[in-house]
Structure 1
Amino acid sequence: MEEELPLSCGESGKPVQATLSSLKMVDVGKWPIFSLCSEEELQLIRQACVFGSASNEVLYTTVNNEIFVLGTNCCGCLGLGDVQSTIEPRRLDSLSGKKIACLSYGSGPHIVLATTEGEVFTWGHNAYSQLGNGTTNHGLVPCYISTNLSNKQVIEVACGSYHSLVLTSDGEVFAWGYNNSGQVGSGSTANQPIPRRVTGCLQNKAVVNIACGQMCSMAVVDAGEVYVWGYNGNGQLGLGSSGNQPTPCRVAALQGIHVQRVACGYAHTLVLTDEGQVYAWGANSYGQLGTGNKSNQSYPTPISVEKDRIIEIAACHSTHTSAAKTQGGNVYMWGQCRGQSVTLPHLTRFSCTDDVFACFATPAVTWRLLSVEPDGHLTVAESLKREFDNPDTADLKFLVDGKYIYAHKVLLKIRCEHFRSSLENNEDEIVEMSEFSYPVYRAFLEYLYTDSISLSPEEAIGLLDLATFYRENRLKKLCQQTIKQGICEENAIALLSAAVKYEAQDLEEFCFRFCINHLTVVTQTSGFAEMDHDLLKNFISKASRVGAFKN
């Protein structure tokens, strides 16, 4: 028997791990919920994740880097601040300006999202502390999770039914939430309300991949070993037994086999080796192991797909379905298929594993965060934009605040006079930068690839400093535009001071006019009270000349 879930919110949905894919020609229209979107809205979609017990919720990003949601909104899982369902896409303003690197969701459902900056946000169902914010109150809006993660850059996330995992750039795993079977790896069965590092056998290991089963957890380390913990009633831990495991334990049966990836279904597990071989274990009542029968397996079992090597495996918690893609581009599926049981890998007509879950699985969900390109052609500008911070093609990396930013020397020379001279005879592959902060310097480099910036007004001041230093006049103008959009009574004096300091005359004039138009409130702020003496003197003089102090 496969384990039962505690009931919540009248939902019976199961979790699915969703990680950023690099797909082209994915037709989001194959998922029924997108029939609620207009053709114009569909054309703008660049990332998407369908989730919920009946694939009745969706989150997607657009070409303009805006995030939209729609669906039934169980337990506030759309993050809109309410529990009202919506059949029209609504913008998720609380994450405005954030770019999604990866996300995952659980059964409640709850959402765990990591941004490209490595920040973690959670919202939705929280009866078991699966949001990691220290409470058991449902989260109606995205909450930034900083406890034990504030100095970490999260690069992967995974949700079980009611527990959550994240993987950091330094190979550490943190877990929180429901722990009735030891799935957070703490050694006990007490729920974990905040992120806690998973140690034990992982203490000195560098983890490269994580996944969650319904109530179990998996980690692949850089040496190719697989570590497992949590519920094991169907043998889904691959340890040859059915006893639960409260702390990480290595899958000894894979000794000598180098695993690259792990994927978890409802109650079964798939792994992909560096040789393109798939192994499976766990529940098999729908043939989801691909062994040709419906018998559970508690040891890793090799699965024969075809002679061509496998390059991708896919499974998700909402279904009992498995899929794989070969190097030659063939896509296979097995397990539950529209109510039928397929016990051996079956060749499909699809070109990507995502379509298996859109067309064959029940419910029709996405097993990962889709990245959608409207067609196969990219303009030069789009190609350059996509290559920014890409370690696979970069030949130069900047070390800023302990983090790397990947770039290409030839593009920097073409785009920036400063780099044209500084990189001329520079053979170094790493450049350390201490003069500017990581967000500021990353925004500068990204600007060289995209001709645009995305920063808060406060961070834009730092970028204005950089633009002045590097004599990048167009960038100075963009910074001034950003700062103007964020001005308010509280920060007006600070922005005016920055404009004067960096000789941004247009911005200085704008800030001065704003201060004059809101003079009563501005003069009562702490910024005005702490104003530099010379700046204050000049401000009063100029304000007098325009008649600001006349009755």
Structure 2
Amino acid sequence: MVLLTLAHRLHQHHHLLLISSLPLFIQFPPPLPHQEKLGLAGAMVDVSKWPLLSVLSAQEQAAVRQVYIFGTSANEAIYITHANEVFAFGLNCSGCLGTGDSVSTIVPKKLDFLQGKKVVSLSYGSGPHVLLATEDGQLFAWGHNVYSQLGNNTTSAGLSPALITNNLQSKKVTEVACGSHHSLALTQDGEVFAWGYNNCGQVGSGSTTNQPYPRKVTGCLQGKAAVGITCGQTSSLALIDNGEVYGWGYNGNGQLGIGNNGNQLCPCRLATLQGVCIQQVVAGYAHCLALTDEGLLYAWGANTYGQLGTRNKSNHLSPVQIMVDKERYEVAACHSTHTSAAKTQSGKVFMWGQCRGQSMVLPHLTHFTATDDVFACFATPSVMWRLLSVEHDDFMTASEALRKEFDSPETSDLKFSVDGKCIHVHKAVLKISRCEHFRSMFRSQWSEGQQDVIEIGQFSYPVYRSFLQFLYTDTVELPPEDAIGLLDLATSYCENQLKRLCQQIIKRGITVDNAFTLLSAAIRYDAEDLEEFCFRFCVNHLTQVTQTTAFWQVDGGMLKEFISRASRCGAFKN
């Protein structure tokens, strides 16, 4: 039997999402299969939004500190653990995983050469090739190298991470950026180095000759201190410490923002932005976004998919202001996509441009909490626009503090005893919770509300603990079989939102072996939507389902009803 490649599997998964999510206009994607954690909302980074990361176990996901998904099909991933171990997995095109070979792997492989290196910047090109900068200022490169984009003075592919030192021996690299086949590095002292493919002047050397190793970009950058770099497919930009922006390379769509569409072989200042101080600039495939220190947002370049957010699809050769509200933003774009995103100071996330194949010509408010989520769910390919950190800073939100105190013996003043085990909670939290059962218990002076320990005999420990945890965290973490018990509890306590979350878990966990058990549960708890889903699954896999133990253990009345209903659907026609 021919094995499906990782790319094919992910393509199939992505295609199914497209079909199910876009009946008329853009809808946000449903939860990904095989995720056992569901929640209402949350500000924490959720790596499960990225389809490729679903191959990691829960334990592996918990160990991730930083992660970067890249490649022409978003089928490669590099991640760094809390122990500063670097792992890679995926298709491994051109040896871009750095594993020493070009063999695809769905099992993460450790990059021993980078053991203990704390990563501060990571970027990839279209080959793909990969650049990585460490905390101590070292630059590593590997992958595709036909145009010398690795900077090692050769055109041979690099199958393992190699330290790049040409012209950088005494320099400390703090940031890296890749275009399709060229590379940039920013040093601690504000110098910009470039190398690789240079057919349009994207290396900034004043010629169109390929540059085989890092070369300092001078010209108008001479004597200036850069604080940021970014690349389009074949263009380059640098942000200076005084808020000026300089661009060079391909300019056929106006992506340099200099008022014309002629290529620039040397850095050229964006004069239109004179008088404003840019604090962040990012580049898409052929468009750019810039954010001022006052919260003004500018866009320029290609606009075929509405990625400039200007209500139309006309290119702009010079920066034009969009999203006119003066609210501090974070802007996001990636050289391999035509998607744009922004996050406001109040936490609102907008997206525009190419989103799931559709053109959105105006910024569209999403339900996301991070710009990264836009690229996970809507960009094509669904790559990361930056090295994603899942670390939390020292600030803890109220919801995170509440989450932390669930089942904490140190602070609780009430225990639920279930199956001989205790669950520690807080009366005040339950008193103000959205659960009417507990609100009534503690506001109406029920006898249970006066106790320090409440015995629960109707439900199992995993089910009742998950219910209480839901009241603290808005999330549910249970296997499908236990979710049936939680569905029973949610029905008893009239918790409709919890009931919906349980149904989603059950839908994602349905198999031939448990399908009829889940159908029985859906009927028993009057979950009509879930019942229909399970019934359709059973009909679609009728031969296998009728051979399971669960099918023949149901009562005769239900079995007759199922057979009659399946017959009416044409399940037994030849």
Short-chain TM bin = 0.5 to 0.7
- In the other structure, the counterpart of 2:70 is 51
How far did residue 248 of structure 1 move? 0.4
- In the other structure, the counterpart of 2:168 is 149
Q: Which aligned pairs between 1:274-353 and structure 2 lie closer than 5 A? A: 274-304=293-323, 307-353=325-371
Residues 149/319 of structure 1: CA separation in 2 closer, same or farther (3 Å cut): same
Instruction: Give the aligned residue type for 1:261.
Output: Q
Distance 1:69 1:342 in 2: 34
Instruction: Give the aligned residue type for 1:315.
Output: A
- In the other structure, the counterpart of 2:555 is none
- In the other structure, the counterpart of 1:31 is 50
Max radius of gyration: which structure?
2
Do the aligned partners of 1:185 and 1:198 also contact (CA within 8 Å) in 2? yes
Distance 1:150 1:78 in 2: 25
How far did residue 310 of structure 1 move? 2.9
Structure 2 unaligned blocks of 5 or more = 1-41, 397-574
Q: Which aligned pairs between 1:285-434 and structure 2 lie closer than 5 A? A: 285-304=304-323, 307-373=325-391
Q: Given the alignment, which residue of 254, 261, 273 partners 1:254?
A: 273
Instruction: Give the aligned residue type for 1:333.
Output: M
Q: Given the alignment, which residue of 93, 96, 105 partners 1:74?
A: 93
Deviations 1:63-105 (CA, angstroms, capped at 9, x unpaired): 2211110000001000011000001111111111111011110
Do the aligned partners of 1:51 and 1:366 also contact (CA within 8 Å) in 2? yes
- In the other structure, the counterpart of 2:126 is 107
296-305 or 277-286: bigger deviation: 296-305
Deviations 1:129-175 (CA, angstroms, capped at 9, x unpaired): 00000000000000101111111111111101000001111110000
> Match of 2:53, SS?
helix
Instruction: Give the aligned residue type for 2:369.
Output: S
Residues 374/197 of structure 1: CA separation in 2 closer, same or farther (3 Å cut): closer
Deviations 1:169-201 (CA, angstroms, capped at 9, x unpaired): 111000000000000000000000010000000
* Runs of 4+ with >4 A deviation: 374-378
Distance 1:80 1:221 in 2: 36
Residues 238/377 of structure 1: CA separation in 2 closer, same or farther (3 Å cut): closer
How far did residue 311 of structure 1 move? 2.5
Instruction: Give the aligned residue type for 2:380.
Output: T
Aligned: 1:187 with 2:206: yes
Residues 344/158 of structure 1: CA separation in 2 closer, same or farther (3 Å cut): same
Deviations 1:457-516 (CA, angstroms, capped at 9, x unpaired): xxxxxxxxxxxxxxxxxxxxxxxxxxxxxxxxxxxxxxxxxxxxxxxxxxxxxxxxxxxx
Identity of aligned residues (%): 65
- In the other structure, the counterpart of 1:244 is 263
Aligned: 1:268 with 2:287: yes
How far did residue 254 of structure 1 move? 0.9
Instruction: Give the aligned residue type for 1:268.
Output: H
Do the aligned partners of 2:233 and 2:336 also contact (CA within 8 Å) in 1? no
How far did residue 308 of structure 1 move? 4.9
Aligned: 1:201 with 2:227: no
TM-score with structure 1 setting the length: 0.63
Structure 1 unaligned blocks of 5 or more = 1-22, 379-551
Q: CA RMSD in A?
A: 1.5
Instruction: Give the aligned residue type for 1:172.
Output: E
Distance 1:374 1:168 in 2: 27
Do the aligned partners of 1:310 and 1:324 also contact (CA within 8 Å) in 2? no
Distance 1:314 1:38 in 2: 29
Instruction: Give the aligned residue type for 1:303.
Output: I
- In the other structure, the counterpart of 1:473 is none
> Match of 1:42, SS?
helix
- In the other structure, the counterpart of 2:236 is 217
> Match of 2:220, SS?
helix
Do the aligned partners of 1:103 and 1:158 also contact (CA within 8 Å) in 2? yes
Deviations 1:323-349 (CA, angstroms, capped at 9, x unpaired): 011111111111011111110111110
> Match of 1:34, SS?
helix
Do the aligned partners of 1:46 and 1:62 also contact (CA within 8 Å) in 2? yes
Residues 209/376 of structure 1: CA separation in 2 closer, same or farther (3 Å cut): closer
How far did residue 374 of structure 1 move? 7.3
Distance 2:329 2:313 in 1: 25
Instruction: Give the aligned residue type for 2:361.
Output: T
Do the aligned partners of 2:278 and 2:292 also contact (CA within 8 Å) in 1? yes
How far did residue 223 of structure 1 move? 1.3
Aligned: 1:137 with 2:152: no
Distance 2:232 2:147 in 1: 16
Distance 1:304 1:76 in 2: 41
How far did residue 373 of structure 1 move? 3.0
How far did residue 377 of structure 1 move? 7.8
